[in-house]
């Protein structure tokens, strides 16, 4: 047993639930209104206000948010949507739900966000949308991407699953592109258990999103036929079952209140990791985005194969022996059999994404981690590096 082993397991992530969330859920259960209702509406208002966005539309996941945004912007069969291969499968899956084709554009060589130059090379006359992913919350080069979108008539829909709260050149992510998709999954910076949000400044788009998230039933159609009575409804669009429930929204109301405090603590933990890992040979700390402030959803270090003789997989295994949970974000999409078979991509196609992935380890990072927890992670990693120096 190593001398850096923790007595109790430190997970990679642990969601925080306070008494306020618990009581609000109980209140919802007692209220008799379980599905989408007043609490979802309150969460939408609060979310939009906290971003400074015109509207926020609640759905049951970020995957649904991405699909619905593409759907409402008219993406369909025969269209191409450019995105990063260095993302979770949901980003590309949402494109395929529309019958459209994901087209990957590689990341920058030394930063895990999509490279605008690669996006430019991927544009064709079929390009209908671009989905940048703000990896770990570090903002993408939005000016360049918005300009590329405008140049070919493609909408820029951001996958901001990690980017709450991130800022691009001082502006909150969620107030830049026409539709920005957030995740409220249990593993994200704040959670509703499962959930997602689409932020937009367009009242017209918000209306369409609201209609299509719940069976395509138009509220205006209801109004037109009030003479028919309250039982009447009209399906005016192709709809989906993507609504949030008030049980989930109840959690979100209090999680949103905690966002700033969570963020402050994340930034502290990141600063501590940076300071303690600064002189650990073999470990490369994540550098900040050149374009703004990160939400620090993840703290992804890279193992420098030039300095140590252990690979990433062995380091993960040794840290597990030390009772420390880690993760890997992400296995690039062009390494998965499904995308290879369906899109004809191969493992050699996007070398930047692949080499970033091969060295990456996501260290534990969540607001209730103590400074001693951070020191324990660094001690374990430091010992492993010291024992395996070249
Ligand atoms: C988590 C995640 C998603 C999907 O979010 P869900 O709310 O679970 O659907 C999409 N994109 C990225 C980059 C993610 O990390």
Q: List, in order of start, the domains of the chain with CATH numbers.
A: 19-256 (3.40.640.10), 259-387 (3.90.1150.10)
Q: Which of 188, 223, 241, 320 is catalytic?
A: 188
Q: How many CB atoms lie within 10 A of CB 160?
A: 31
Residue 138, helix vs strand vs coil: coil
Atom 5 of ligand 1: nearest residue by CA position: 62
198, 231, 243 from 219: Cα distances, Å: 19, 13, 15
Tokens of 323: 């009772």
13, 280, 322, 384 from 2: Cα distances, Å: 23, 18, 7, 10
pTM of the model: 0.97
Distance CA 265, CA 295 (A): 11
Tokens of 183: 């995740």
pLDDT value at residue 218? 82
pLDDT value at residue 182? 99
Tell whether ligand 1 has an atom less than 6 A from the beta carbon of residue 63.
yes
Tell whether ligand 1 has an atom less than 6 A from the beta carbon of residue 91.
yes
What phi-psi label fits residue 99: left (phi over 0), alpha (psi between -120 and 50 degrees) or beta? left
Q: How many CB atoms lie within 10 A of CB 44?
A: 22
Strand order through the sheet with 80-83: 55-59, 196-200, 179-183, 155-159, 127-131, 80-83, 101-104
Catalytic: 188? yes
Atom of ligand 1 nearest to the CA of 196: 7
pLDDT of 234-264, one tens digit each? 899 999 999 999 999 999 999 999 999 999 9
Tell whether ligand 1 has an atom less than 6 A from the beta carbon of residue 133.
yes
pLDDT value at residue 3? 93
**385 C-alpha to ligand 1 centroid (Å):** 32
Rg of the chain over Cα atoms, rounded to whole angstroms, equals 22
H/E segment holding residue 269: helix 246-277
Residue 132, helix vs strand vs coil: coil
pLDDT value at residue 227? 61
Residue 261 contacts by C-beta under 8 Å, 6 or more apart in sequence? 367
Phi, psi of 29 (to 5 degrees): -60, -40
Mutate to test the pocket of ligand 1, among 89, 137, 185, 248 (most ligand atoms within 8 A of CB): 185
78, 240, 325, 366, 377 from 9: Cα distances, Å: 49, 41, 7, 14, 11
pLDDT value at residue 308? 97
**How close are the terminal C-alpha atoms of the chain, in Å?**
23
Q: Are 360 and 304 in contact (CB under 8 A)?
A: no
pLDDT value at residue 232? 81
**1 C-alpha to ligand 1 centroid (Å):** 37
Atom of ligand 1 nearest to the CA of 87: 13
Mutate to test the pocket of ligand 1, among 15, 60, 63, 365 (most ligand atoms within 8 A of CB): 63
pLDDT value at residue 66? 98
Where the chain has pLDDT below 50, the residues are 222
pLDDT value at residue 225? 53
How is 39-57 classified by DSSP, letter by letter?
HHHHHHHHHHHHHT-SEEE
H/E segment holding residue 128: strand 127-131
Distance CA 87, CA 137 (A): 12
**281 C-alpha to ligand 1 centroid (Å):** 33
Q: How many CB atoms lie within 10 A of CB 70?
A: 25
Distance CA 103, CA 190 (A): 30
Atom 2 of ligand 1: nearest residue by CA position: 161
Atom 1 of ligand 1: nearest residue by CA position: 161
**382 C-alpha to ligand 1 centroid (Å):** 31
Q: ∠ at Cα 75 (69, 78), nearest 5°?
A: 155
Distance CA 106, CA 348 (A): 11
Q: Are 329 and 12 in contact (CB under 8 A)?
A: no
Tell whether ligand 1 has an atom less than 6 A from the beta carbon of residue 362.
no
Tell whether ligand 1 has an atom less than 6 A from the beta carbon of residue 137.
no
Tokens of 247: 């049980």
């Amino acid at each position: 047993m190593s001398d850096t082993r923790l007595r109790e397991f430190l997970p990679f992530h642990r969601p925080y639930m306070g008494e306020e969330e618990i009581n609000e859920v109980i209140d919802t259960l007692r209220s008799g209104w379980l599905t989408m209702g007043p609490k979802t509406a309150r969460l939408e208002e609060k979310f939009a206000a906290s971003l400074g966005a015109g509207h926020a539309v609640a759905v049951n996941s970020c995957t649904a948010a991405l699909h619905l945004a593409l759907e409402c912007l008219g993406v369909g069969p025969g269209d191409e949507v450019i995105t990063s291969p260095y993302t979770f499968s949901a980003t590309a899956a949402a494109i395929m739900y529309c019958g459209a084709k994901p087209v990957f554009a590689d990341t920058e060589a030394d930063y895990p966000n999509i490279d605008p130059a690669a996006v430019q090379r991927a544009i064709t006359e079929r390009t209908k949308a671009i989905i940048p992913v703000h990896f770990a919350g570090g903002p993408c080069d939005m000016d360049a991407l918005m300009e590329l979108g405008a140049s070919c008539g493609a909408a820029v829909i951001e996958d901001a699953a990690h980017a709450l709260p991130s800022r691009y050149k001082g502006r909150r992510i969620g107030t830049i592109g026409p539709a920005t998709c957030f995740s409220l999954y249990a593993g994200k910076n704040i959670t509703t258990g499962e959930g997602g949000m689409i932020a937009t400044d367009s009242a017209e788009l918000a209306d369409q999103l609201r209609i299509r998230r719940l069976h395509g039933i138009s509220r205006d159609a209801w109004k037109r036929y009030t003479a028919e009575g309250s039982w009447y409804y009209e399906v005016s669009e192709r709809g989906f079952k993507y609504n949030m429930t008030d049980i989930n929204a109840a959690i979100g109301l209090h999680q949103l209140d905690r966002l700033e405090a969570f963020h402050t603590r994340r930034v502290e933990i990141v600063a501590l990791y940076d300071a303690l890992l600064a002189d650990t040979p073999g470990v490369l700390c994540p550098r900040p985005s050149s374009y703004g402030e990160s939400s620090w959803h993840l703290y992804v270090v890279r193992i420098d194969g030039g300095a140590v003789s252990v690979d990433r997989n062995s380091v993960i295994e040794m840290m597990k022996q030390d009772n420390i949970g880690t993760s890997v974000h992400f296995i690039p999409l062009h390494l998965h059999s499904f995308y290879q078979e369906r899109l004809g991509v191969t493992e050699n196609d996007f070398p930047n994404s692949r080499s970033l992935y091969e060295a990456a380890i996501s260290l534990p990072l969540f607001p209730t981690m103590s400074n001693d927890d951070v020191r324990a992670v660094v001690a374990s990693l430091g010992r492993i590096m010291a024992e395996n120096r070249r």
